[in-house]
Structure 1
Amino acid sequence: MNHELSFMALIVNADPIVQTVMAILVVSSVTCWAITVEKLVRFTSLRRAARNFEAAVKADALLSNPKAGEGVQAAILSAAARERKDGIDAGESRYEFRVRLEMVMRQAMAQQLRQVEPGLPFLATVGSAAPFIGLFGTVWGIMNSFTAIAGSHDTSLAVVAPGIAEALFATALGLVAAIPAVVLYNKFSTDLGRLAQRFNVAINEAARQFSRTSAAHPRAMAEAGQ
């Protein structure tokens, strides 16, 4: 038996089951970091969109350029523009019209933010499952160590160490995959909630500005003329 205890030797000489566990954990960890890079880019873009939307609302610039922006802002303003085109219905107060505007704008925002969610469940799954997958590899490695002791009738460290080492290495891989996944999932979930809150606050003010200048629905105007 090869008793070398370098990392590569642990992987190469490990039991096939333990090797499979290690491979699953390594692939999961790499996938988590790939998701992380993609989410960092997406959240950077969303923060910029939130800042631009808040600035436009604060400057009262949406009325002069209601189709400005891109991404989330464009989707929100497009939904508002469609609703404003219909105008205020007969018997509907401006407050009720404002509430209707807020609703369609929030729906557009939620639809855009949902596009950021894919990948987050994978982070949560790895964060919760990876330690147990590593623990399975640990148990299997220790079982191999006891089997080696029983087969050689030798309890020296040279016989026990390789199995224990690969068992602990599987545990370490499980923690290396799980800890960043949990931290990143919590971070991205929190960031998503904060962005939604920022957009909601800006949407409230944008709806107020739009409702203030919206005209009555053509049908309502015709009925009023009669």
Structure 2
Amino acid sequence: MTETPHSPSSHADPASNPELVRGEDGRVRPRWAATDPLLRDYYDHEWGVPIRTERGLYERLSLEAFQSGLSWATILRKRPAFRAAFADFEPDAVAAFGDDDVRRLLADAGIVRNERKIHAAITNARATVSLRSDGGLVQLVWGFQPAPGPPPQSYAEVPAKVPASEQLAKALKKAGFVFVGPTTMYALMQAIGMVDDHLVGESGPLAG
């Protein structure tokens, strides 16, 4: 992981932190990623790895919105179905969705059938396309990367939102995006490597 603000220390003893678990493979993970194979794979290869592509950011924005009120494990299990239903999250394709597509999506048991969130994904695809004439989604999102801070010792030190996520939420709303509140945007910032909230002692992602 070369582009995140700081890298997790491999020297701290995870045995002293009840929020960390050393797996059979020797890697140290947080408890949320220690047992479920799907979450473990996501943690090892994706969480905190920088994403700097329009499609990648649009997909994460969409999935973070669908996750609201649900577990991230639920979203990951449905991710293949989401990709199939939303044209692999290609913004141009989703921006062209109409009423027939909304009805199709509402009938798709493989995804989260929430009408407001479905409309939000389509609205955000159109906003993503429109934003290209003003620098693009990648430039806008990464323009709010905060200065790095010390790595947290525990999740009690990890905030739900920060001033940068509040500013990002406002900028996205101004650009026509919806379902982009400051808490959701901080979760996005963590997931795409804009901030590094790996606890001291974690092994960190394998990718990057």
Return the TM-score normalized by structure 1.
0.25
Q: Which has the higher helix share?
A: 1
Larger Rg: 1
